Structure 1
Amino acid sequence: MAQMQGRRYIKAFLKGFFVAVPVTVTFLDRVACIARVEGASMQPSLNPGDKQVSDVVLLNHWSIRNYEVQRGDIVSLVSPRNPKQKIIKRVIALEGDVIKTISYKTKYVKVPDGHMWVEGDHRGHSFDSNAFGPVSLGLLHARATHILWPPEHWQKLPAKLPPERQPLQKERE
């Protein structure tokens, strides 16, 4: 009898496991996940000042499913230089916008269709569009919406564009 109970328990566990794993994987892939942000490129918005503590953010995949981002959003994307790495940057300009670059090979860039211009908040400490140019929207991974950890950093991440980084010409609002 005890052996029968054990088998029933294992069978129920396996059924639950084989349902829960695909549901969880699908959720993490399509809806949202969390990620730890490392480095100084997004300071002071993320990882402000403290080198020992990395912010943990909520990455919303669902909100960018149609590549809908706005200027000022903090996004996660596949690095144009290393497809195995994800980077987190702020969207500065969208397709059709003309942007004055900081250290790119040309002083002004018109962002091509299907692309965006991204930069880190910490000027000079960020590997961003000023190094690799406009980024294809196809590399977009998720939008960072909230800081979840550490508790003293808890907040919703607003879409804010530094006034000095406004595009010179905006194609769409």
Structure 2
Amino acid sequence: MKSFYAQKSFLSMALWTKFAGYVLKGAGIGIVISAINDSLVSFVVFQGESMDPTIQNNEIGLCDKTTPYEDIRRGDIVVAASPKQLNVQICKRVIALEGDEVTFQPDGDGGYEDLAKLKNYKYIPRGHVWLEGDNKASSLDSRNFGPVPLGLVRSRVIGKFYPFRSATIFAREPPNDPWDRNPTR
């Protein structure tokens, strides 16, 4: 017959083994979630008013980090590093792609007026996109800092899911011609 201490030791060892198994499973799940968040999709809390009314302050969205640069389309909403402060992320809509013609005219505040009033023309250089916020009055975007290198684009916003009453999946427009990314050239 085993002694009381031997039974206690056995139970203690079994509990520690079970606990260690849970810890390792939890760590494994954490590593997988971290890898997914770093390379496939990410959750984003949107800050600021530059994308009102499409995306409002403090809404939470889901971003696709796997969209290749060559698949970014006009109308997509993207998260990019700010060309002025690389550690700051911005959320803007793609207005023009490389080779597209964009018109702009500086206004008195150092920003730019509405695109319909613009007179000067500019072509988007290779490997760049033109980004603008939906709320032009509250947006620092390509009208202020020019075309954004594609290398600064981090992800494409798939949709917003919180608060639930405003949950939306952002539909993508099909390309005009699958063989020509820039049909306006």
TM-score by length of 2: 0.78
Name 1:55's counterpart in structure 2: 59
Answer whether contact 1:67 1:137 (CA < 8 A) is retained.
no
Deviation at 1:26? 1.2
Q: Counterparts of 2:44 and 2:65 in 1: how far apart (Å)?
A: 12
Give the letter for the 1:24 counterpart: I
Deviation at 1:39? 1.0
1:16 aligns with 2:46: no
3-state SS, counterpart of residue 72 of structure 1? coil
3-state SS, counterpart of residue 136 of structure 2? coil
Q: Note the alpha carbon deviations across 1:79-105, whole angstroms, 9 max, x for none.
A: 111111111000000000011125468
Q: What is the aligned residue count?
A: 158
Percent identical:
28
Structure 1: 5+ residue runs without aligned partners? 48-52, 161-169
Name 2:167's counterpart in structure 1: 154
Q: Counterparts of 1:17 and 1:67 in 2: how far apart (Å)?
A: 37
Q: 1:6 to 1:67 in 2, by over 3 A?
A: farther
Alignment of 1:30-69 (within 5 A): 30-47=39-56, 54-62=58-66, 64-69=67-72
Q: Counterparts of 2:38 and 2:88 in 1: how far apart (Å)?
A: 16
3-state SS, counterpart of residue 131 of structure 2? strand
Name 2:140's counterpart in structure 1: 127
1:96 aligns with 2:109: no
Structure 2: 5+ residue runs without aligned partners? 1-9, 113-118, 174-179
Q: Counterparts of 1:84 and 1:152 in 2: how far apart (Å)?
A: 31
Deviation at 1:41? 0.4
1:72 aligns with 2:79: no
Deviation at 1:158? 2.9
Q: 1:61 to 1:101 in 2, by over 3 A?
A: same
3-state SS, counterpart of residue 93 of structure 2? strand
Higher relative contact order (CA 8 A, sep 6+): 1
Name 1:172's counterpart in structure 2: 182
TM-score by length of 1: 0.83
Give the letter for the 2:100 counterpart: D
Q: 1:171 to 1:17 in 2, by over 3 A?
A: closer
Q: 1:67 to 1:139 in 2, by over 3 A?
A: farther
Answer whether contact 1:40 1:122 (CA < 8 A) is retained.
yes
Superposition CA RMSD, Å:
2.1
3-state SS, counterpart of residue 124 of structure 1? helix
